[in-house]
Amino acid sequence: MHVKMRTKGLRFKINGAILLASVIVALFAGSILYPVEINRRAARLEEIESLLKAVFLQKKEAIANEVFADQLLALQHTLRDIHRVHGVAQLSIYDLDGHVILATESGAPRHLAPQRMARLEDAALFHKTRIDGRSLAAYTTLIEVIGERVGYIAMYYDLSELERESILVAGFFLSMLLAVLAVMALFLNLLLTRAVIQPAGRLRDAIGKVRAGNLGEQVAIASTDEIGEMAADFNAMSKKLQEQHVALSDAVQTKESFAQKLAQSNRQLADLNTNLEARVETRTEELKRSYERLEQEMIERKRAYEEKSRLEEKLVRSQKMEALGMLAGGVAHDLNNVLSGIVSYPELLLLQLQADSPLRTPIKTIQESGQKAAAIVQDLLTLTRRGVINADVLDINKQIVEPYLQSPEYEKLMTAHPGVRIAVTLAEDLLPIKGSTIHLTKTLMNLVTNAAESIEDRGRITISTENRYTDLAFKNGDNVQEGEYAVLIVSDTGLGIAPEDLDRIFEPFYTRKKMGRSGTGLGMAVVWGTVQDHNGQINVQSRRGVGTTFEIFFPATREALSITDQAFSLAALAGQGEKILVVDDVPAQREITSSILEELGYRVATVPGGEAALAYLEKHSADLMILDMIMTPGMDGLETYRRILARHPDQKAVIASGFAENERVRAAQELGAGLYIRKPFTLEKIGRAVKMALGDPPPSAFPE
């Protein structure tokens, strides 16, 4: 825009100059033309005078003689002839006295003044005059022939044409001038544009481009004038700039490429170096690793060896325990059958007795004794791992620890050891685990009892629970995985356990305590077995004179707490006269079971064995079967169930067995048998199982 303004200014200036020049030219032309015009007019007037003079001279003799001879008619003719001459407007002839003799028109003066006549003696007069509004040139002269003066003649010439001529001429020249000036101006403008402004503009554009960085810009101006030269110089300069720039760029480029190459080389070198280092490192690493691996291998080998020893030990131990277990198992099995009577009948009797009956206490005692014996048997069974653990989802805090702390056993224990204080720290968010309340309570009891007994005088026992997440294998661990654990910790400030004893504390009947002081000698074994049954892990830490801490890790479950939390309600377990078939080879067991079931409100049928069951079901139907697993001789429970199902696919069954859950039980459950209950079972247990098997969901009622 700025530059454009300047170009406009240039045009403006030059246009102004052209205009000024034009004005000057016009003035000049005018100053020349004006006198020329004046001269022309004067010349025309002269011409007119000459014409009139000539015409007069031509006719002078005739006029003179006609005037002289009074030939007025002839004079008229003559004047008419003169009048025909183009431009002659009027004619007047005067006598020597100055009076008009003849005039072609009125309007001209009828007399000549004496002064005029006097002047006419010397020469003719020629002057401009007006007659009747017309501008005329008058030529007045004396008429004299051969010295004879006869009169005067006034010849009038019409000047209107002359004047019109003047105006036309002026107009014509003016318009000519204007036209010429206009054309000239236009032409000059065009010329100027082409010769100056446009090239200047182009040059300016090119300069702008160069300034903007477009070096080497050439401008196409072909003229050879100053602008052309400027353009040529500019072109050369621009080209040179470009070349220099290019050269510079090239040089820089070259340098840069060299630098790059150098850098590259350097980098390569560095890379090489690092590579080298890396390779060395890698090599070193590899060596290290292989060394480590070697070490590891060696350690592992060592460990494996140790493990082997340990396992061998364990195996020995296991075998020992198994042997013991087998023994115990055999005993327990027989005892269990016997004990069912002692456990179950009292319960029935208690139900039939009134609350204030004096028989209550003894019967209760019988029951308790029976239960205790059953417990021992259970413990023994537990050792053989043939017991069946109920896998209920339970909360250790609420269902193990707290109930235990309320239990009479606990009371008795505390009473027995007055110097012992109990501290209880329970994690509020303790994860639930899957397990058996009875076993776990037993475990806790055993631990706490041992703890209390280890304290001689005064001491403290701490019971705590907490959640732990562990990802390391334990010291004594086998098969312990990572995961969440609910940990039960019982620690005491007692005598502690000697290191050489730590390994053996879980052995059945291994005790430092006096025989018969308490427990069965199986306490720790039971604990150990329970822990194993719960897929948990027990840790022992002890120092003589300081104390002992037992940590038991139970795998946590995320299942909801099981229904077995709910309170027992007899009424809820009542049956509606459903038909139940009890299949058991032991008659006493059959009796017990049917009595309980009838008590609960069911119709019961009993058969001594599998074949009998089959036969029975041929003729009768049963809503539910209570199936004993171990039946001799003949088919066992599983086989019986299989066969029955083959004939009666919808037959529901509950499995009852004195042994812990095992494969056969599981297989039967897979076939479709609903639940498994362990003998000896309580009323509650059988009732629930039957209810559940029959399909009625037991009512839920939470104890407060």
Partner 1 sequence: MAARTEKCLQAGMWREHHGIPFGRIGGLLVCLVLLGGFLFPPNGSAEPIKIAAIFAQSGIAADNNALAINAVELAADEINRRGGVRGRHLALTIIDNQSTPIGSQAAARRAVAMGAAAVIGPSWSSHCLPAAKVLQDAGVPMITPTASNPQITRIGDYIFRVCFTDDFQGRALAYLARKDIAARTAVILVNANEAYSMTLAEFFGQHFSRLGGKVLWQGTYNAKAADFRDLLDQTRRQRPQVIFVPGYARDSGLIVSQARKVGIQTTFIGGDGWGGEIFDFGGAALAGCYYTTHWYPTRSNRQSQELMNSYEARFGPPSVWRTIIPLTWDAVWLLAAAIEKGGATDRAALRSALAATRNFEGVSGAISFDDQGNPRGKGAYVIRLTAESREFVKIIAAP
Distance CA 582, CA 400 (A): 33
Left, alpha or beta for 695 (phi > 0: left; psi -120 to 50: alpha)?
left
State the nearest-atom distance from the C-beta of 67 to partner 1, in Å.
Answer: 9
CB of 77 to partner 1, least distance (A): 4
Nearer to partner 1, 64 or 638 (CB): 64
Residue of 4, 6, 61, 263 interacting with partner 1 (CB under 8 A): 61
Report the relative pairing of strands 624-628 and 579-583 from DSSP bridges. parallel
- What is the closest distance, in whole angstroms, from the C-beta atom of residue 83 to partner 1 in the complex? 13
C-alpha–C-alpha distance, residues 680 and 589, integer Å = 9
Number of residues that bind partner 1 (CB under 8 A): 19
Burial class (CB in 10 A: 0-12, 13-18, 19+), 439: buried
Nearer to partner 1 by Cβ, of 78 and 589: the residue is 78
Amino acid 277 reads: E
Instruction: Select 60 or 333, whichever has its Cβ closest to partner 1.
Output: 60
Q: What does the DSSP assignment read for 372-395?
A: HHHHHHHHHHHHHT-S----EEE-
Given candidates 22, 48, 52, 66, which one binds partner 1 under the rule CB under 8 A? 66
Within 13 Å of residue 171, how many CA atoms lie on the same side as its CB?
Answer: 6
Smallest gap from Cβ 179 to partner 1, in A, equals: 48
Does 559 interact with partner 1 (rule: CB under 8 A)?
no
**Taking the CB of residue 147, how many other CB atoms lie within 10 A of it?**
5
Of 144 and 696, the one with the shorter C-beta distance to partner 1 is 144
Nearer to partner 1, 62 or 561 (CB): 62
Provide the minimum distance between the beta carbon of 90 and partner 1 in the complex, in angstroms, as a whole number. Answer: 20
Q: Which is nearer to partner 1, 78 or 441 (CB)?
A: 78
Q: Which of 241, 225, 213, 44 is nearest to 135 (CA)?
A: 44
Of 59 and 590, which has the nearer Cβ to partner 1? 59
552 neighbors 538 (Cβ within 8 angstroms): yes
Give yes or no for residue 68 binding partner 1 (CB under 8 A): yes
Nearer to partner 1, 45 or 85 (CB): 85
Closest CA to 698 of 615, 574, 609, 604: 574
Its sign, for the CA torsion 468, 470, 473, 475, is: negative
Give yes or no for residue 71 binding partner 1 (CB under 8 A): yes
Stretch that binds partner 1, among 70-78, 258-266, 539-547, 615-623 (CB under 8 A): 70-78
With CB under 8 A as the contact rule, the residue among 21, 36, 45, 62 that binds partner 1 is: 62
Closest approach, Cβ 40 to partner 1, in A, equals 36
Closest separation in Å from C-beta 42 to partner 1: 34
271 binds partner 1 (CB under 8 A): no
Q: What does the DSSP assignment read for 286-309? A: HHHHHHHHHHHHHHHHHHHHHHHH
Q: Contact at 8 Å (CB) between 351 and 694?
A: no
Least Å distance, CB 65 to partner 1, is: 4
Say what angle helices 523-533 and 437-454 make with each other, to 10 degrees. Answer: 140
Q: Report which DSSP code applies to 93.
A: E
Cis peptide bond upstream of 633, omega within 30: yes
Q: Does 571 bind partner 1 (CB under 8 A)?
A: no
CB atoms within 10 A of CB 537: 23
Indicate the residue type of 290.
S
Structure tokens at 265: 């080389």
Q: Which two tokens stand for residue 533?
A: 């049954």
Nearer CB in complex with partner 1: 151/325: 151
**65/535 with CB nearer partner 1:** 65
Q: Within positions 337 to 366, which residues make up the interface with partner 1, using CB under 8 A?
A: none
Largest CA-CA distance found in the chain, in angstroms, rounded: 214
Closer residue to partner 1 in complex, CB, 147/418: 147
Minimum distance between the CB of residue 141 and partner 1, rounded to whole angstroms? 16
- Binding to partner 1 by residue 96, rule CB under 8 A? no
Q: Cβ of residue 142: shortest distance to partner 1, in angstroms?
A: 14
- Contacts to partner 1 from residues 427-446, by CB under 8 A: none
324 Cβ partners below 8 Å, 6+ apart? Answer: 383, 508, 509
Which residues have CB under 8 Å from 20's CB, separation 6+?
A: none
**Smallest separation (angstroms) from partner 1 to the CB of 150:** 7
Tell which positions 207-236 bind partner 1, by CB under 8 A: none
Letters for 72-91 (x = contact with partner 1 by CB under 8 A, - = none) are -xx-xxx--x----------
| Closer residue to partner 1, CB minimum distance, 84 or 514 | 84
Q: How many CB atoms lie within 10 A of CB 193?
A: 15
Nearest to partner 1 of 148, 281 (CB atom): 148
Q: Is 149 exposed, middle or buried (0-12, 13-18, 19+ CB in 10 A)?
A: middle
The single residue among 17, 54, 69, 498 that binds partner 1, judged by CB under 8 A, is 69
CB of 101 to partner 1, least distance (A): 15
Span interacting with partner 1, options 63-71, 446-454, 556-564, 572-580, rule CB under 8 A: 63-71
CB closer to partner 1 out of 147 and 213: 147
Question: CA torsion 78→80→86→91, rounded to 10°?
Answer: 80
| Distant-in-sequence contacts of 607-611, Cβ < 8 A, 24+ apart | 607/581, 607/582, 607/583, 608/584, 609/583, 609/585, 609/634, 609/635, 609/640, 610/583, 610/634, 610/635, 610/636, 610/637, 610/639, 610/640, 610/643, 611/635
What does the per-residue mask of binding to partner 1 show for 128-147, with x meaning CB under 8 A? Answer: -----------------xxx
Segment 100 to 119, residues that bind partner 1, using CB under 8 A: none
The DSSP secondary-structure symbol of 563 reads G
Among 150, 200, 600, 654, binds partner 1 (CB under 8 A): 150
Given 18, 29, 55, 64, the residue binding partner 1 (CB under 8 A):
64
Q: Whose Cβ is closer to partner 1: residue 145's or residue 645's?
A: 145
Binding site residues, partner 1, CB under 8 A: 61-62, 64-66, 68-69, 71, 73-74, 76-78, 81, 145-148, 150
